[in-house]
Amino acid sequence: MAIEVNGKTYETDEEGYLANLNDWEPEVATAMAKEDGTELSESHWEVINFLREYYEEYQIAPAVRVLTKAIGKKLGKDKGNSKYLYELFPYGPAKQACKYAGLPKPTGCV
Amino acid sequence: MENEGGIKKFMYVNRKAPYGTIYALESLEVVLIGAAFDQDVSLAFLDDGVYQLAKGQDTKGIGMKNFSPIYKVLGDYDINKLYVEKESLEARGLTLDDLQEIMYEDEDDDWEEKPSIRVVSAAELRDLMDEQDIVLSF
């Protein structure tokens, strides 16, 4: 599969996750979100950028409870909770945000 | 041994070098997936498995992903018992200083950071294995 953004084609897996992490550009996230009917706000970007940094450091897309805890630590308690994250990413904060961030699907997600 | 509320003691035993075979990475993936089930999990590293925790791994030359940073997040998955066999370290001329620092936050002790790696003798490791409900070898 593939996703087309501004005339450029990006290879994805069968669930729409980018095949190559290094292909990622912000426009890819915007396009993926648009397909899901979401417009990315500052708050979305905060999580997406956090995930990219997290992956850079630890080489893993975190499970949702780990992500929630880590966000709380980095961005504050008001953001490190399921309610806040699910409002931003209703398809599941780990799954959906990782996808927009160009990361693989979190380990352990089915 | 008696189980409380269906919690079992799982030990994942790692005996192979991190690269060259898929065992080390597969073991780590199973550990991370299994972490969702709230079991009592520990990891054991012996034989060439001790190299999985070695500091400063660089996989550029072999074109494989260096997955060693993942061990650092095990604490966030509530996995904080990483037993390393002393004899295996010694046989390879390694000490605790050659392994990466892996910490966890102890929620029963005001979230104090503590090391997850514990060096144990073969005899101690044998006793630990004996306590387990399930031992999975990789």
Nearest to B72 among A58, A69, A108 (CB): A58
Min Cα distance B14 → chain A (Å) is 19
Q: Considering its fold, how many domains does chain B have in total?
A: 1
Predicted local distance difference test score (pLDDT) of residue B3 = 53
User: Tens digits of per-residue pLDDT, A90-104?
Assistant: 988 888 999 999 998
**Mean pLDDT of the A60-75 span:** 90
Residue B88 lies in a domain: yes
Residue B87 lies in a domain: yes
Domains of chain A, start order: 2-100 (1.10.10.370)
Tell me the pLDDT of chain A averaged across its residues: 91
Q: What is the CATH number of the domain that holds B108?
A: 3.40.1260.10
For residue B21, give the amino acid letter. T
Residue B82 lies in a domain: yes
- What angle do the packed helices A93-100 and A26-35 form, to 10 degrees? 130
Q: Which two tokens stand for residue A39?
A: 């417009």
Min Cα distance A4 → chain B (Å) is 27
User: Tens digits of per-residue pLDDT, B80-90?
Assistant: 999 999 999 99
**If pLDDT is split at 50, 70 and 90, which confidence band does B6 have?**
confident
Predicted local distance difference test score (pLDDT) of residue A1 = 84
Residue B92 lies in a domain: yes
Global pTM value:
0.87
Residue B15 lies in a domain: yes
Query: Which residue of B lies nearest to A109 if distances are taken between CA atoms?
Result: B33
**CA separation for the pair A60, B73 (Å, rounded):** 9
Phi, psi angle pair for A12, to nearest 5°: -130, 165
**CA separation for the pair A42, A36 (Å, rounded):** 17
Residue B45 lies in a domain: yes
Q: Which two tokens stand for residue A61?
A: 């897309």
A98 is catalytic: no
Q: What is the ipTM of this complex?
A: 0.80
What is the domain range of residue B77? 9-137
The three-state secondary structure class of A75 is helix
Check CB contact under 8 Å for B35 and A62: no
Residues facing residue B13 across a β-bridge? B44, B137
Given a cut of 80, is residue B107 above it in pLDDT? Answer: yes
